[in-house]
Amino acid sequence: MNKNVTPNELLSADDDMPLYEPHKKVYPQRVSGTFRRIKWGLMAFCLGVYYLLPFVRWNRGLGAPDQAVLIDFPNERFYFFFIELWPQEVYYFTGLLILAAFTLFLMNALGGRIWCGYFCPQTVWTDLFYAVERWTEGDRRERIKADAGPMTANRLALRSLKHVIWLMIAWWTGGAWVLYFSDAPTLVKDLATFQAPALAYIWIGILTASTYLLAGHAREQVCLYMCPWPRIQAALTDEWALNVTYKYDRGEPRCSMKKAIDLRSLGEKVGDCVDCNQCVAVCPTGIDIRDGAQLGCIQCGLCIDACDTVMKKIGRPTRLIGYDNDINVQRRIAGKEEIFKPVRARTIVYAALIAVVCSVMLYALLTRSLLDLNVLHDRNPVAVRLSDGSIRNGYTLRFLNKRGFDRVIAIDIDGPANAQIHVIGVDSVTPDRPMIILARDTTTELRVLVTAPFDEKAEKTTPVKFRVTDIGLGEVASAVDHFVMP
């Protein structure tokens, strides 16, 4: 420390230093190779599913919606091909969230941030926006040169074209989202003729703006500062997970091609890295993978393609950058063989949990009842003594007919001795066993009165079981409540 510098001067110097590193615009360069082709294929698949799935039809019978995937808020239903879920079955969505979490954990244990690099919506749409940018304004060098120079008419035209295409993609992204909540062909027609609900236009505007801003402008900033997964992933990973890795045991010490030739002629050790910076030029987040594992690396593999291209040109082995782990780097330095452990305790546990969740959900789905019954006991009064001395309890029965047709059901009770049941507003030909018609795909509520002779020896509360039976199909549902003696 310089003795002539006072503590106050040191504090003043620290105050002048910025808290964060200034943002530098990233200009990813076009690259071709194995991982780039994989990303193109997955992008086409993901976007194709997202944009086209609302138009897929699925026949569910007369009167039922024929859209394969539909979130029907007005009728409180969720349709997914042959599956129809009711609000009471929200636990299936809980299971899907748990399944998604364990799948994400397994992907991380096997190949790092595979989700971030290939499937994340932010990555997919940003990649698409980058493709549009390269098509309109040119590759990395052209864009850097254009940004450094003055605004010209040609540049303004190209930039305007780019933003128009971006807005069109963003608009259709928002439009496709609302199609999942209504019949897609009908809603498209209503939107085009300005007859759609105002809420549809509002959500399209919100999603258009968010897609345009996040994929067109925020880009890598979303991955670096907004997304929580990189922080979570760092805590979940282990030393055996395969991540995009610069194999410094092979690449160091790095130097240019010309210098490498001179050093090799002198017998000096030279690495395969020629310090061309192509791995940095193609990175969508602008990091240098040679600096080691970093928060900004989304494991997309584009740096692998860039490096392999250079290695092929200079006649050196490919995969100087590849999916690897630091354990193998150290083993190669020690002259040992590489070891890969995709099957280990962590991956086995995740796979087992995924299998358990899938099995439970599949069993629940295959054995789910399409006839449900819920019972609510009257609270005030809980029980009524009639003029003949008998006791009457009132209940509200809610029936759920999840089938696509009407059904006739019979109501039975098991409870107090000699108890009789009466359904208010329904005259049944069999008073001891009332029968009613449940409309298809609806919820029906009925008031039911249960009357039993007063018994001094009886318990104050007696369990009473309501059981409904589909006369045609034999399907049974039941619910238990209590019969109260005052």
Q: Which long-range contacts (CB under 8 A, 24 or more apart) does 69-74 make?
A: 69/180, 70/180, 70/181, 70/182, 70/183, 71/180, 71/181, 72/181, 73/181
Angstrom CA distances, 18 to 23, 88, 221, 235, 464, stand at 12, 54, 18, 29, 73
pLDDT recorded at residue 14: 53
For residue 239 the two structure tokens come to: 């030393």
Q: How far apart are CA 143 and CA 148, in angstroms?
A: 9
At 309, the amino acid letter reads: T
Residues constituting the chain = 486
Give pLDDT tens digits for 229-244.
888 887 888 888 999 9
Q: How far apart are CA 91 and CA 448, in angstroms?
A: 29
DSSP state of 224: I
Q: Cβ neighbours of residue 148 under 8 Å, at least 6 residues apart?
A: none
Q: How far apart are CA 191 and CA 349, in angstroms?
A: 48
DSSP state of 33: S
Which SS3 state, helix, strand or coil, does residue 245 take?
A: strand
| Consecutive H or E run containing 94 | helix 91-111
Cβ proximity of 474 and 436 under 8 Å: no
At 256, the amino acid letter reads: S
Place of tokens 């609000």: 87
| Consecutive H or E run containing 350 | helix 345-366
Q: How far apart are CA 81 and CA 83, in angstroms?
A: 6
The torsion defined by the Cα of 105, 107, 111 and 117, in degrees rounded to 10, comes to -110
Model-level pTM? 0.83
Instruction: Give the distance between the most distant pair of CA atoms in the chain.
Output: 116
Cβ proximity of 404 and 439 under 8 Å: no
Q: Cβ neighbours of residue 26 under 8 Å, at least 6 residues apart?
A: 219, 220, 283, 284, 285, 286
Does the N-terminal peptide bond of residue 253 adopt cis geometry, omega within 30 degrees of 0?
Answer: yes
Q: How many CB atoms lie under 10 A from the CB of residue 254?
A: 18
* CATH number for the segment(s) 371-484: 2.60.40.10
pLDDT recorded at residue 1: 45
For residue 260 the two structure tokens come to: 């490498």
Listed by start position, the domains of the chain span 34-89+122-217, 238-333, 371-484
The torsion defined by the Cα of 275, 281, 287 and 293, in degrees rounded to 10, comes to -60
445 half-sphere exposure, CB direction, 13 A CA radius = 4
* Selection from 174, 173, 169, 165 nearest residue 202 by Cα: 174
Q: What is the pLDDT along the chain (486 residues), one digit of tens a residue?
A: 455 656 565 555 555 656 566 678 899 999 999 999 999 999 999 999 999 999 999 988 777 888 999 998 888 889 999 888 888 888 889 999 999 999 999 999 998 889 999 999 999 999 999 999 999 999 999 999 988 888 889 999 999 999 999 999 999 999 999 999 999 999 999 999 999 999 999 999 999 999 999 999 999 999 888 998 888 887 888 888 999 999 998 888 888 888 888 787 777 888 889 999 999 999 999 999 999 888 889 999 999 999 999 999 998 999 999 999 888 988 898 888 989 999 999 999 999 999 999 999 999 888 888 888 899 998 888 889 898 888 899 999 999 888 888 888 888 888 888 888 888 877 665 667 888 888 888 888 989 999 888 877 777 888 999 999 998 888 888 899 999 887
Does the N-terminal peptide bond of residue 381 adopt cis geometry, omega within 30 degrees of 0?
Answer: yes
Give pLDDT tens digits for 373-425.
899 998 888 889 898 888 899 999 999 888 888 888 888 888 888 888 888 87
* Selection from 359, 327, 325 nearest residue 109 by Cα: 325
